[in-house]
Amino acid sequence: MKLYYSAGACSLSPHIVAVEAGIPLDLERVSLGKTPHTTASGIDFSTVNPNGYVPALELDDGTLLTEGPAIVQYLADLKPESGLAPAAGTLARVQVQSWLNFIGTELHKMYSPWLFHAEYGEQAQTVARKKIAERLAFVDAHLAAGGPFLLGERFSVADAYLFTIVSWSKLVHVDLSAFAHVRNYLDRVAQRPAVKEAMKAEGLKVAA
Ligand SMILES: N[C@@H](CCC(=O)N[C@@H](CS)C(=O)NCC(=O)O)C(=O)O
């Protein structure tokens, strides 16, 4: 299986999940900085994913899976014993899907593209930061009441996604000072050996 990724982008989430589950991946880096996006092997990435975004997971039979929340569940289901996602069809699984959707629509797509492109202007970015702060207050209260992870005691695919997205905060000036539980959570997740391994493989700075 090959994961098309960009260092530190949302593709870090399935990367973490694969390492947590002990699933070996081939990695192919995609440069998102220029259009068309090209991959490390020099192909136009739009010939792989017509939407042009990472993550994309190419299965051994050539099938391409896109959309981070779907990819992480696929990976977790390959190794159910990893406990990264509860069994399909259970209420607990729907709760994970609820978190994945929340992170995707209420956080990921507020940070990106809005805070990554100055051309959207200060007004749009102020609105995005305000919305993100509201959502992070909700996450903070949830972690305070039922942590240490989103589902309680067990790290899940939703944590890989939340960690990946909220770790962008410093880069795009989202102030986390009011969210002590979120900050502690990021520190805790950053210490996981699988998280360190995935980040190192992407050339990212790893927590001490
Ligand atoms: N709906 C997609 C969105 C993925 C996405 O936003 N990827 C970003 C990186 S975090 C990207 O590749 N952006 C480049 C582009 O859209 O051209 C998902 O949830 O997987």
Distance from residue 145's CA to the centre of ligand 1 (Å) = 31
The Cα–Cα gap between 88 and 170 comes to 35
Q: Which atom of ligand 1 is nearest to the CA of 109?
A: 6
Dihedral, 52, 196, 77, 165 alpha carbons, nearest 10: -50
Q: What is the DSSP letter of 44?
A: B
Asked if 64 and 20 sit in the same domain, the reply is yes
| Average pLDDT of the segment spanning 137-156 | 97
Ligand 1, atom 18: closest residue by C-alpha? 67
Average pLDDT, the chain: 97
Domain that holds residue 96: 91-191
- What pLDDT, on the 0 to 100 scale, is given for residue 148? 97
69 falls within a domain: yes
Find, among 94, 76, 86, the residue nearest to 23 by Cα.
76
Q: Is 8 in the pocket of ligand 1 (CB under 6 A)?
A: no
Atom of ligand 1 nearest to the CA of 66: 20
For the chain, what percent of residues have pLDDT higher than 70?
100
Q: What is the pLDDT of residues 5-19, one digit of tens each?
A: 999 999 999 999 999
Q: Tell me, what's the pLDDT at 188?
A: 97
Q: Residues 101-134: pLDDT tens digits?
A: 999 999 999 999 999 999 999 999 999 999 999 9
- Give the pLDDT of residue 165: 98
Identify the H or E element spanning 31. strand 26-31
C-beta 68 within 6 A of ligand 1: yes
Residues 103 and 181 in one domain: yes
The string of DSSP letters for 95-154 reads: HHHHHHHHIIIIIIHHHTTGGG-GGGHHHHHHHHHHHHHHHHHHHHHHHHHH-SBTTBSS
Structure-block tokens of residue 31? 């440069």
Query: Domain total for the chain?
Result: 2
CATH number at residue 171: 1.20.1050.10
Q: Do 19 and 44 touch, CB atoms closer than 8 A?
A: no
Does residue 120 fall inside a structural domain? yes
Angle at which helix 68-78 crosses helix 12-21, to 10 degrees, equals 10
> What pLDDT score was predicted for residue 34?
85
Which whole number is the average pLDDT over 149-155?
A: 97
Note whether 99 and 161 are same-domain residues. yes
Task: Taking residues 69-79, report their average pLDDT.
Answer: 98
- Residue whose CA lies nearest to ligand 1 atom number 15: 53
Asked if residue 129 and residue 184 are part of one domain, the reply reads yes
User: Distance (Å, rounded) from C-alpha 15 to C-alpha 199?
Assistant: 9
172 lines ligand 1 (CB under 6 A): no
Contact 161, 69 (CB under 8 A): yes
- DSSP, collapsed to helix, strand or coil, labels residue 195 as helix
CATH number at residue 9: 3.40.30.10
